[in-house]
Chains A and B, each alone.
Chain A
């Protein structure tokens, strides 16, 4: 790690102000991606601005059919939250599948979504549930938020405050862990709402994406078999030393089917 300064602002406003006046500063929440990057000297920042402790970024609340989760809420807190389990059990389940206990007790929702790792779990839920990302500057719809590998609609100095998830009729998540890293090799979040079905896929492509052919197929028949013929464009799927495109494509279909099968058990 290169030498740097650590600051802990007392409020979100103070954090935003500090960021605005220090172009080389970086926000620190759980640090689950940032800290290893710093340790390997792959990044260099003048300051780390720690917002993990800010009360205004914490908390879980259900109101008017919407579940709002503060950006600095830890994965573990989402996983065990009675409110989340009641409103969107699939979201609690997803949070419990992230990384390992150490990661889940440090990593945060906002950090994961802002980082937008192409194999992270949360983006699948945010996109699948058509959530709204509330920042210090505006509200961003999930469909507009994710912009491909590690890219988002966030501007310089813009901080995620909370994420608001509309409570769906039913939702389910199925994930295949990368055997080494524990990230999603393929993770599929399937959501049923009054408006229809949404299917979000993480881990397979350069960023989280909606599998629209699957959405159409499932709108007609909400059964695993409906996905057999659903077209899946795999040209830009990730290939690495572990897995090729064909296998990832297969995983997407299998995980989607499993998520759909889970929906049946999740009557609401």
Chain B
């Protein structure tokens, strides 16, 4: 049995090759890390300090698109306490002009992606409001900020473009001289001819133009970084908010040509990441240069205002989608014309997030014989776009699930029935999709029926009638989704596991939690495999000294990857201990049994504990595994009530049934789903980054204008597990960090559109604000009169 922390929806599971152990102390109501984090004793990037540290402040462009005519630093240099002012010229002189971009696969016609130069400080030209043009270093943060106001930048404004359609149009302002048409990458997936034929034979075609809005991920922790250059071995110690040390090193090394082994990354706690913390931002490179040239540690802590204009944004996709169906509602083909807004530069992840990821799941949970998607990336004078919780998967799921619900409405069919009719059947797994993915397994029908039951799908008409009596518009929305988790820069994940002389077992990883609860779940995996109380197991994250290969935390991959290797490592530790115990007990290893932290000779009372063994010699193992994609899937059903007088939506119920494979800790899974669903709800109902169309100015530069979701937005989220174990990893787990975003966008949008449909209102793009809904209701009423 696996003894875990669980919520109300307990799912106890037996692990095929896990020893049966007694119940132990892992029945915590809180996660292991919670006490530290909620009592303010966490240590975040800005909490690191070193003797003699200097402070950096960045001067940022207040123009969307401009040439830098001149940049004068003399007055700033004279300011008390100022040590140096760096500019784009310094970045270029140091050779810091490259920026790491994941995409290494060809586009249409075999054309590679164009990766324009990106100096660590803008040189010659700025491409978005917030583009950093200078870095002031002083002996206090206040002096650096004061002096930054004395840096004189003369700009020559260039026309700015902030919408992708305008950016790709002929005659648009050009952002990069070596990227004609603002089109760095033109990618395609599927079979264009087959789709054409499918549409010719279609009895019905549903078309929608969909915008997946640009959002500011806004983790609670502000971005911060401190670098200390160590001349004696030419190494750089980088204290920074990250998603994993190896990815950070690889990117920093790429941008600066400093060898990876000279980069030492330090992190303890990270306060939210969402994909936004995976990048080696240009500021970090400049801090490296400053520390080396000034011989002191240099620290920078962002402000929230800077965050809005320099931390990567998410989503920002515009899609024309078409779904072809036959007379019986069977899907024949799907065609997408997808434009992804990249902002002013390519980020590390955005280009892959919005080409490869949506392609991988382009068929959704359906058997669609013909698929074709064309994906174009566009440069605009906005903040670069990168992976954001789900990284293209919520976007593609939104497109498919909006199209399917729209098709059901047009055909006057039940939205669940249309899905049922087109599901990939259980027996068709492993299912090879027309765009080249192989879905491992899924019980789509089972997930759907469970969700319909808990959401009382059949009783909706009655509830709608009740709402109508109160003058409210009620709608129900469904989404059935699947996604490919994983992705990472490294071929395998390694874990080191050590048992110390006091009997404490410590697991070391290069992954980094930013709220996912690894210290609890990874430790539980080790504790349960070793039959030890959870208190005896510890996890150390972002440990570089062990030289481990492994991926960052992203793409819902950490439990599946590093977490499952924890189990292998624990098993290996038992094997290592068994040989040593056999010598101590003077029996053959095959005669040694292991249980609850002790080895015992079979049929004898002779026993030796892990701790005793560790006292005699070090107990230490390293285990590894190569873990590819898992395919978590689920069905979410949302129900909303809209007040027509104000357009206010209340989410009256939200039910999530998710197949995350075997669940180690239901409370943690539930927390991930709650967070991601709420993030999805934030995007659907309120969040959106807005730029002025003419000037390219950022209009949502603070939380006074950028609307974050509040806790009251979703009052109750019911999360049910529907586990179908994955054979992909030792735990049988599937990724779950992002699935809540993937399913919630469409479920919530479908519910709102469903509520307005009786009035005759059509598709509405997110965010579905009260004002937008009120206007839609007004025009629908006018249309009827």
Interface residues of chain A, those whose CB is within 8 Å of chain B, are: 2-3, 40, 176, 179-181, 240-244, 246-247, 250-251, 254
Contacts and interface: CB of A to CB of B under 8 A. Distances in A.
Nearest to A255: B646
B686 A179 contact: yes
A180 B707 contact: yes
A250 B778 CA distance: 11
Contacts of A241: 690, 699-700, 705
Interface string B667-704: 00000000000000000001000100000000110011
A243 B771 contact: yes
B450 to A, nearest CB: 33
Given A179-B770, A180-B707, 8 more contacts: A179-B707, A180-B705, A241-B700, A247-B647, A247-B775, A250-B646, A250-B774, A254-B646
B771 A242 contact: yes
Nearest to A1: B142
Nearest to B770: A179
Nearest to B643: A254
Contacts of B706: 180
A176 B771 CA distance: 12
Q: Lowest 5 A-B CB distances belong to which pairs?
A: A180-B707, A247-B771, A181-B704, A179-B707, A243-B771
Given A3-B142, A180-B706, A181-B705, A40 B305 contact: yes
Contact of A180 (B646, B704, B774): B704
A244 B690 contact: no
B579 interface: no
User: Does more than half of chain A's interface fall in helix, strand or loop, or is it mixed?
Assistant: loop
Interface string B139-158: 00010001000000000000
A171 B686 CA distance: 32
Nearest to B708: A180
A244 B771 contact: yes
B769 interface: yes
B703 A180 contact: yes
B34 interface: no
A180 to B, nearest CB: 4
A21 B416 CA distance: 74
A186 B705 CA distance: 16
Between A2, A3, A179, A243, the greatest number of chain B beta carbons within 10 A of the residue's beta carbon is seen for A179
Contacts of B704: 180-181
A175 to B, nearest CB: 12
B132 to A, nearest CB: 18
A194 to B, nearest CB: 32
B494 to A, nearest CB: 44
Contact of B769 (A40, A176, A242): A242
A176 B705 contact: no
Nearest to B704: A181
A176 B707 contact: no
Between B707, B769, B771, the greatest number of chain A beta carbons within 10 A of the residue's beta carbon is seen for B771
Contacts of B142: 3
Contacts of A251: 646
B456 interface: no
22 contacts: A2-B146, A3-B142, A40-B305, A179-B707, A179-B770, A180-B686, A180-B703, A180-B705, A180-B708, A181-B703, A241-B690, A241-B699, A242-B707, A242-B769, A242-B771, A243-B771, A247-B771, A247-B774, A250-B645, A250-B774, A254-B645, A254-B646
Contacts of B646: 176, 250-251, 254
A241 B686 CA distance: 12
Contacts of B708: 180
Between A181, A240, A247, the greatest number of chain B beta carbons within 10 A of the residue's beta carbon is seen for A247
A183 to B, nearest CB: 8
Contacts of A180: 686, 703-708
B129 to A, nearest CB: 15
B769 A179 contact: yes
A241 B142 CA distance: 33
A240 B707 CA distance: 14
A1 to B, nearest CB: 8
A258 to B, nearest CB: 9
B226 to A, nearest CB: 22
Contacts of A250: 645-646, 774
Nearest to B772: A247
A81 B647 CA distance: 34
B386 to A, nearest CB: 23
A40 B304 CA distance: 10
Contacts of A3: 142
A243 B707 CA distance: 13
Interface in B113-166: 142, 146
